[in-house]
Chain A
Amino acid sequence: MGKAKLAVWKFASCDGCQLSILDCEDELLAIADAVEIANFTEMTRKVIDGPYDISLVEGSITTADDAQRIVEIRKNSAVIVAIGACATAGGIQALRNYADIDEYVSAVYAHPEYISTLATSRSISDFIKVDLELHGCPVNKEHLIELVAASLAGRKPRIPQYSVCEECKLRGNVCVVVAENMPCLGPVTSAGCGALCPAVKRGCYGCFGPMQKANTTSLAIRLKENGADEDKLHRMFKTFNATKFEKEFSS
């Protein structure tokens, strides 16, 4: 059997999640040896036709063309992994979903007629069946390697399923809510970053999105009791993973 074919696709995004692959400086040449990089425009001119064993998809769907392109990619891929907040939740650009898109276009562009865009920014799984999702804005590069390795080996990836709050305790950080009275989304946010923000004395801002069955309501009540400004709290939820925290800011 030949090497597995890996493809990387970009939709509306900042390139940060796919850059995580190039940021694996110690592993990059070994990865390129272990799999056949069949499509990864940021890295190579080489383009090898599908089907692909695994497709990593970065970015959200924001145009009619892209909505078609993702369907083609699905047809051509055995496994699809959506990587990052854009691909799994629509990303920061999903803030348009709560605004008037025509007003947005004309606020930014002189010729709105040149711009073709959908009124919403949606996750990949809103359009096709996605096999695996990796959260984060950006994703954690070690988890990305683990996920690719696991899915090629046909085993379950070892990715933490708990909250940033638990990661924070494991890391031995001092709790910023208790010690500094800072608003922190750690209790409701998926682990994966290693509790980076509390480590620099800052509340978690939720860039990894909600963990499953997160009790956001009780967190919001607690933070408000601590004196957090309600509008500010809404904005905290309404940033990088807004579509996944909708009920927390539409109240």
Chain B
Amino acid sequence: MEKKKMATSCDIDVHGIARIEGEGALHVHIDDGELKNVELEIFEPPRFFEAFLRGRGFEEPPDITARICGICPVAYQMSACLAIEDACSVQVRDEIQTLRRLLYCGEWIQSHVLHVFLLHAPDFFGLEDAVELAKINKSAVERGLFMKKMGNKLMEVVGGRAIHPVNVRVGGFYSAPSKGDLQDLVEDLKKALDYAIWAVEWVAAFDFPDINTSYPLVSLVHDTLYPIDYGTVASTEGFNVSPKEFLDRIVEEHVARSSALHAKLDGETPYLTGPMARFNLNYDRLTPIAKQCAEASGIERDCRNPFKTIIMRSLEVVVAFEEALRIIDNYVAPDPSYEQVLPRSGIGYGATEAPRGTIVHRYELGKDGLIKEAQIVPPTSQNQAAIEEDLKNVIANNMDLDQEQLTNYCETAVRNHDPCISCSAHFLDVDIKR
């Protein structure tokens, strides 16, 4: 980037950061060449899900918590189902869990492609949005839109609707799609997979600033699969624990500027979940074609450059298409399509990988099947402290840029993590310090 004049003392205030989900603002204060303060503010009005879930039926969280976020409703539905089934000591059959994974692949695709093509890529061309991008590279945007549409198609066929799927229930699905319905998608999914392979190459050739990060990375891990629909929680610090133990280790702090809380490991360390964490902790679990794409792209397997999350997201789109095709190929409709879940008093935990990172739900049920206590920890509230670390890093390395360039740079640094502010504003329990 061509450098203009020095910004020795300035305030950067971006009210309403564009091309992110929800309403967030950014405040940076630089005084005499020294960075004094960085704040990512979340000013979405709170919606109090955790409060009104109390007293609701144990079968309701998949539908209710989906409404926390229109971009990743399946993540909420899946973590909610796992947590409630855990409380009721039910484990669903493999065929049901696999169908959940297929639905989740659809969500990863539509959410990641939305971010890569419509929200993030324009930054690398210095453009305002994807419409402008289409003016200089229409076929790229059209390919992106086609992939996104296929993600949504998968969600419609498996989930009954792309935004807030209706077919998910505690225990499984109301109905299982037929093999034929899924096979009808195969040809287009293969075409989309080709586009996804191309997309990795396309984004890998973007110009990336050289920035490195050192905070711990946290993601689910699984013996054989790239983590999406379940797993244990591992970190680059070396722990590998159950969702319950993980929740015990994070402390959420309520800061003045936010209707979201900052989650920190053991109450002090910022950490990051999401594509960069999953990629680092699960490189060996990448699906075969995604592995080849990763190697061809030249990305290091322990890449810590948050600007390169666009490559990792694109690789995960390849993973999701490959997985979808594999699952459809082996698919036998689960019959019955759900397990009977009888409520009982107890506490349950569920963790899955939302497109933006690990999402953990915890429910305490009474024996009448009503919810006594709910806790939901979405990725963005976990990532917020790490995003601020990135901002400090970017600013410290670019003090010599002018105000406008530095502002754009900071906005991109926020968008690197695809924060979903709708998600993060709506919860956070208070008393989890133990």
Q: Is A92 touching B64 in the complex (CB atoms < 8 A)?
A: yes
- Encoded as 1 (CB less than 8 Å from any A CB) or 0, chain B from 390 to 413 comes to 000000000000000000000100
**Alpha-carbon distance between A137 and B60 when the two chains are bound, in angstroms:** 15
* B50, B174, B175 pick with most chain A CB within 10 angstroms: B174
Whether A92 and B67, one on each chain, are in contact in the complex, defined by CB atoms closer than 8 angstroms, is yes
**Docked pose: A42 CA to B70 CA in angstroms:** 12
Smallest CB gap from A118: residue in B? B45
Does A135 touch B at the CB level, under 8 Å? Answer: no
User: Which residues of B94-120 are within 8 A (CB) of A?
Assistant: 110, 114, 118
Q: Mark B171-183, 1 if CB is under 8 A from A, else 0.
A: 0011100000000
Q: Which of A42, A107, A111 contacts B256 (CB 8 A)?
A: A111
In the complex, are the beta carbons of B45 and A20 less than 8 A apart?
no
Q: Give the CA-CA distance A10 to B44 in the complex, in Å.
A: 10
Q: Which of B60, B163, B411 contacts A19 (CB 8 A)?
A: B163
Q: Is B210 an interface residue (CB 8 A)?
A: no
Q: Which residues of A in the span 1-20 have a Cβ within 8 Å of any Cβ on B?
A: 10-20
A225 within 8 A of B: no
A202-B174 contact given A108-B51, A239-B64, CB 8 Å threshold: yes
A32-B131, A109-B428 known; A12-B47 Cβ under 8 A: yes
B68, B114, B161: the one within 8 Å of A14 (CB): B68
Contact in complex: A15, B18 (CB < 8 Å):
no
Query: With a CB–CB cut-off of 8 A, which chain A residues contact B160?
Result: 196-197, 199-200
The answer to whether B70 touches A44, judged by C-beta atoms less than 8 angstroms apart, is: no
Interface residues of B in 7-48 (CB under 8 A from A): 16-23, 44-48
CA distance A15 to B114 in the complex (A): 13
CB A183 to nearest CB in B, in angstroms, measures 12
Contacts of A49 in B (CB 8 A): none
Distance of A240 Cα from B70 Cα, bound (Å): 14
| Interface band, chain B | 35 or more
Given contacts A12-B44, A235-B57, contact A44 B128 (CB under 8 A): yes
Q: For the complex, is B323 an interface residue (Cβ under 8 Å from A)?
A: no
Closest residue of B by beta carbon distance from A100: B51
Stretch from A23-31, A123-131, A154-162, A213-221 forming part of the interface with B: A23-31
Decide if B67 touches A137 in the complex (CB within 8 Å).
Answer: yes
Query: A244 on the interface (CB 8 Å rule)?
Result: no
Check A96 for interface membership: any CB of B closer than 8 A: yes
Contacts of A138 in B (CB 8 A): 70, 163-164
Inter-chain contact A108/B429, CB cutoff 8 Å: yes
In the complex, what distance in Å separates the CA atom of A132 from the CA atom of B167?
30
Q: Which of B335-370 contact A (CB under 8 A)?
A: none
Please indicate the chain A residues that have their CB under 8 angstroms from the CB of B282 in the complex: none
Q: Main secondary structure on chain B at its contact with chain A?
A: loop
Q: B130 an interface residue at 8 Å Cβ cutoff?
A: yes
Nearest chain-B residue to A61 (Cβ)? B45
Contacting pair B254 A111 (CB below 8 A): yes
CB-defined contacts of B18 to chain A, threshold 8 Å: 41-45
Report the Cα distance A121→B49, complex, angstroms.
Answer: 13
Q: Name which residue of chain A comes closest to B142, CB basis.
A: A29
* Chain B neighbourhood of A62, CB < 8 A: 45-47
- Of the candidates B21, B47, B138, B167, the one whose C-beta lies within 8 Å of that of A202 is B167
- Check if B130 sits within 8 Å of A43, measured CB to CB: yes
Does the CB pair A93–B128 fall under 8 Å?
no
Are B162 and A63 closer than 8 Å at their CB atoms?
Answer: no
Evaluate whether A93 and B167 lie within 8 angstroms (CB atoms) in the complex, with A25-B145, A29-B134, A235-B60 already known: no
CA of A138 to CA of B257, assembled, Å: 30
**Option from B23, B129, B161, B169 in Cβ contact (under 8 Å) with A43:** B129
> In whole angstroms, what is the CA distance A46 to B73 when docked?
28
Interface residues of B in 251-268 (CB under 8 A from A): 253-259, 261
**B249 sits at the interface (CB 8 A):** no
Interface assignment of A145: CB less than 8 Å from any CB of chain B: no
CA distance A45 to B161 in the complex (A): 29
Q: Answer whether residue B304 sits at the interface, using C-beta atoms and an 8 A cutoff.
A: no
Q: Is A78 an interface residue (CB 8 A)?
A: no
Mark contacts of B54-74 with chain A using CB atoms, 8 A cut-off: 1 yes-contact digit, 0 otherwise.
101100100110011111010
Q: 5 A–B contact pairs at CB < 8 A? A: A25-B148, A26-B145, A92-B67, A239-B60, A240-B67
Chain A residues engaging chain B, CB cutoff 8 angstroms: 10-20, 22-23, 25-26, 28-29, 32, 37, 41-46, 62-63, 66, 91-93, 95-96, 99, 103-111, 114-115, 117, 121, 137-138, 193, 196-197, 199-202, 205, 207, 232, 235, 239-240
